[in-house]
Structure 1
Amino acid sequence: MSCRRRLSLVLLLFLIHLASALETGAINATGTAHRRRLSRRQVLELRKKLNNINKPAVHTIRSPDGDIIDCVLISNQPAFDHPLLKDHKLQVKPDFWPDQEDGAASTESSPGDDKVSYQLWHQSGECPEGTVPIRRTTIDDILRVGGSVSRYGRKARPPPNPRRIRPPEPAQGSHEHAIAFINGGQYYGAQASLNVWKPAIQVPNEFSLSQMWLLAGSFYGDLNSIEAGWQVSPLLYGDSNPRLFTYWTSDAYRTTGCYNLLCSGFIQLGRSIAIGATISPLSLLNGAQYDIRILIWKDPRTKNWWMRFGPGILLGYWPAELFTHLGDHASMIEWGGEIVNTAPRGHHTATQMGSGHFPSQGFGQASYFRNLGYVDGTNKLKTQVMLQTLAEHPNCYDILRATSGDWGNYFYYGGPGQNPRCQQ
C-alpha cells in the first residue's frame, strides 16, 4: 500500500471515530445538562434509587465504549427482588433442550464465512466464576428519559399486531414494522440468526431494533411477551451502538416487564454475555456479515423459558412465575424490524431499519433473518415454517421472504426511512 493511500485510510478512520465521538457526546450532553440543574438532595435521592438497580459488584470492567460492567454474584442479581420469585428455586441448567428436526438446516453453522458477533467489553476483561455481567445504570441514563427510575427501561406500547387491531399510537411517535410471523398454533420456542448493523437514528428519542417476539394473550390487556434481539436506542443507552437486548411483559406493557435487567424478572446465569452491552463486530456493506444467534425455548419440566446466545452460550431464563398465558405456550411468533418515527417537521424521519437498505438489494447490503424455526409441543425444533409477512409502510421499510438449503426459511428486511417514496 502506498504512503498516500495509508494516510488516506488513517484520515478516514479518524473522521469516523470523531463523528462517532461527537454523536455520543451530543446524546450524553442531554443527561449532563439535566444533572447540572439538580440539587444535591435530588442527586442523593437518585443515587439511592439507583442502588436498587445496581447491585454490589465483586469485580468491575470498563468497556472501550464507556460502559461499566459490574460482575455481580448470581444470587444477588436484580431478578430475585421480584415478589413472585421470593421462593423461586434457581435452575442452573435446562432439563431439556429442543430436539433438532431430522433434515433441518443446522443452527450451528453459517454458509460461507462463519462469523459471529459477541460483545465489545470482552476486550477489557471477564467476570469471575459465580458472577454475571450487568451493565451499570447511571444518573445520566435516568435523566435522559426524564428522571423517572420507575419508568426507565420500559416500553410504551404493544408490539406489531399482524391482525391490524391496534390501540391509538402514542404521542411520542408511530411504530413501524417489517416482520414475518406465524400464528394460530401452539409454540414452545423460537430461533433465528440475524445479522447486526448500526442503523442511523435521526432523532435521539427514536430507535431501531431487530428482534423476535413470542406472544400469547390479548394485545389490549393481558398480552404476555418474551423478546430478544439487537437495538440502537440513543435515549436508553446514551449512544448509537447496536446492543443485545431482552424484554418481557405479562400485561401488555402496562405495569410489568422491562428491557434487559432494568427491573427484576429475568434470571441470568452466563458470565460471558452482558445484556444491554454493545455488540461487536458489525456487518459491513458488501463485506463480512456478522450474526447473532438466538434460541428461546420452554423447559417442559420447570416451565421456565430459556435463552441461548450464539453457538452455545446459556444466557439464562424467564421464570414461569412471571407469566399467565405463556405459562402454557405462545400463540404467535414474530421476527423482524421495528423503528419509531416521530415526524418532527411533519415528515418521515431518516431513521434506518436494519442496514438502511431495502430487502431487494440482497446479501451484503440488506439485513436478514435466517434459519427460522419454532419448537412444537413434543420439544422438536421445526424449521419448515409457513411464514406470513407484514410491512406497514413498504416505501419506507419492506420485507422479502425466501428459502434455501443452507439458510432454511429466511427473509431480507429494512429500509432507509425517508426517501422520495417515503414522505408520510
Structure 2
Amino acid sequence: MKFFCKLITIIFTVCVVQCRETVRNPNSVKVNDKIIYDCVDIYKQPSLSHPLLQNHKIQLKPSFSISKPKDKSKSKIQSNKIIECSDGTVPILKHTNVSVTNAQHWAKKHFSPLTIDSHGTHIAGVRALPYQGPYHGVTALMSVHDLNISVDQASYTNIYVGSGVSDKVNFLQTGWMVNPALFGDSRTWSYGFWKGVNGTGCYNTICPGFIQVSRTDPLSIPIPYPRKGDRTIYISILQDKKSGNWWAIHVNYHAPDLNIGYWPKEVFDLIGTNADMVGVLGVVQASPSGKSPPMGNGHLPTKHEKESARIENVEIIDSQFKAIGSRKYKLEKLLDSNKCYGLRAREDLPLHDLFTYGGPGGDSCGI
C-alpha cells in the first residue's frame, strides 16, 4: 500500500512539473502552414539578445500621447484579430533559414530614403526638408492594395524618419509591402525596417532590434480585408519624449491608439534624440532584368482619388512633440520616373491633407 501511495505521489508530481513546463513554453498561433507566430515571454523576446540591449529595460507603453488633429478620415483600427497571445507574452513570427537569407538579401537592397540614387529603385511621395527640423515622428493614413509582383521585385509604401551624416545613415520605417521572396507569398504585409549603428539593421523581428509590446498585433502580418469599405492603415512613428525610443503605433481617433512596439534608441547613433527628415513614400525595386513592378494600386493617379492609391492626413511631430500637420512645413514632392509612376495633389486641398500616387511600372522606367 505504501508503495502504491508513493507511486501515485510520483506520478502526480511529474504531471505537475510537466504542466508547469507546458505553461512556460511558448504556445503558437498558426495563421496557415507557413505563417506561425510563437507567443514568447515579453522579457525573453529575441531582440533583447542584441549586444546594445543587454541592459535595456522594456518600455510597456509610451510615456505620453500626442494631441490629435480634427478627425478627417473617420478611420478605425483594423485590428488583425487572428492573434491573441496570453498576458505577458508577445507574438514573434517564426523564421526559416530561407526566410532569414532572403531578408538579409533584401536588407542590402533596401532603399534608403535619405539617399538620392539607388539602382533599380523608383519613388513617389513627399518629405519635409532637413532645415525645418528637428522632428520626432510622422503619421499618415494610407490605402492598402494587392499587387502582382514577381519573386525578384518589391513594392511598398511607408512612413519614415531618419538622419544622415557623410556616409552614415540612420532611418526607420513602417507601412505595407508586397515582396514574395521576403514573405514567402504574394500577399500584402505590414512591415518595419530599420538601419542603425554601423549600418546594421533589418526587417521586422528577423534580427534583434524591434521590441514587440502588443500581444495581438505583430509588426509584420498579412493585412486583412475590412468588412466594408476600402483597406487602409493609419500608422505613426513617434519618438517617446522621455525614453527616446521610436514607437510604431496604429492611430485611432475613436479609442486609444494601438502601441505595436518600438525600436530602442540604443540601436541608433544619429537619431537617439531626434531626426532630421521625415516623409511618406511609395517605393518599388525593379528585377535584375530592369522591369519595374507596379506601385500603389498599379494605376497612375487620376482626379478621382478613390480610384488611386492615396495618402491622407500627413502629420509631422515637431520639436515640441506636437502633431501639427504639414501646415508649418514645406513638403517636397518626390517623383523620379514620370514614365511609369505619378504623384497628384488636389488643387483645393493642402498636400498634407491628401495626395495620390503610383503607376503600372514596366520596362522603360529607367534605373
- Report the TM-score range of the alignment, normalised by the length of the smaller protein: 0.7 to 0.9
Tell me, in whole angstroms, the C-alpha distance in 2 between the residues paired with 1:186 and 1:246.
22
Which of 321, 325, 333 aligns to 1:389? It is: 333
Deviation track 1:283-312 (CA, whole Å, cap 9, x = no partner) reads 9xxx93221111121122111112212421
Q: CA deviation at 1:391?
A: 0.8
Say which SS state the counterpart of residue 364 (structure 1) adopts.
helix
Distance 1:320 1:139 in 2: 28
Show structure 1 runs of 5+ residues with no match.
Answer: 1-55
Residue correspondence of structure 1 range 251-330 to structure 2 within 5 A: 251=197, 255-281=199-225, 288-311=229-252, 312-330=257-275
- Of the three residues 151, 163, 177, the one matched with 1:204 is 151
Q: Which residue of 2 aligns with 1:105?
A: 70
Structure 2 residue aligned with 1:355, among 297, 300, 309? 297
Q: What amino acid is the match of 1:75? A: Y
Conserved? CA contact 1:337–1:413, under 8 Å: yes
- Residues 89-128 of structure 1 mapped to structure 2, 5 A cutoff: 89-100=57-68, 104-106=69-71, 110-111=73-74, 114=75, 116-119=77-80, 122-123=81-82, 125-128=83-86
One-letter amino acid matched to 1:134: I
Q: How many corresponding residue pairs?
A: 336
Rounded to whole Å, the distance in 1 between the matches of 2:347 and 2:46 is: 41
The 1:153–1:315 alpha-carbon spacing in structure 2 relative to 1, beyond 3 Å, is farther
Give the 3 Å change call, closer, same or farther, for CA 309–191 of structure 1 in structure 2: same
Deviation at 1:233, TM superposition (A): 0.6
Q: Is the 8 A contact 1:190 1:374 kept in 2?
A: yes
Superposition map of 1:361-372 within 5 A: 362-372=304-314
Aligned to 2:142: 194
- Aligned partners of 1:116 and 1:356: how far apart in 2? 25
Query: How far apart, CA to CA, are the structure 2 residues paired with 1:404 and 1:316?
Result: 37
User: How many Å separate the matches in 1 of 2:288 and 2:162?
Assistant: 29
| CA displacement 1:111-151 (0-9 Å, x = unmatched) | 5xx465443xx34x5211111111111244246x3xxx8x3
Aligned partner of 1:411 in structure 2 is 355
Q: Structure 2, unaligned stretches of length 5 or more?
A: 1-23
The corresponding residue for 2:27 is 59
SS in 2 for 1:180: strand
SS at match of 1:236: helix
Residue in structure 2 matching 1:332, options 265, 269, 277: 277
CA-CA distance at 1:401 after TM superposition: 2.5
Alpha-carbon distance in 2 for matches of 1:343, 1:88: 41
Aligned pairs for 1:146-295 within 5 A: 151=104, 154-161=107-114, 164=116, 166=117, 169=119, 174-183=120-129, 184=131, 185-201=133-149, 203-218=150-165, 221-251=167-197, 255-281=199-225, 288-295=229-236
Contact 2:312–2:352 (8 Å) recurs in 1:
yes
Partner of 1:40: none
TM-score normalised by L of structure 2:
0.83
Q: Between Structure 1 and Structure 2, whose CA radius of gyration is higher?
A: 2
Contact 1:152 1:262 in 2 (8 A): no
Asked if structure 1 preserves the Cα contact closer than 8 Å seen for 2:170 and 2:199, the reply is no
- Aligned-partner Cα distance in 1 for 2:312–2:55: 39
1:25 is matched with none
Note closer, same or farther for the CA distance 1:353–1:282 as it changes in structure 2 (3 Å cut).
farther
SS at match of 1:204: coil
Question: Aligned in 2, Cα 1:308/1:403: closer, same or farther, shift over 3 Å?
Answer: farther
TM-score (norm 1): 0.73
What is the CA-CA distance between 1:83 and the residue it aligns to? Answer: 0.9
Q: Matches of 1:373 and 1:403 in 2, distance apart?
A: 19
Q: Distance in 2 between matches of 1:152 and 1:341?
A: 14
| Shift in CA distance, 422/390, structure 1 to aligned 2, threshold 3 Å | same
Q: Matched residues in 2 for 1:338 and 1:405: separation?
A: 24
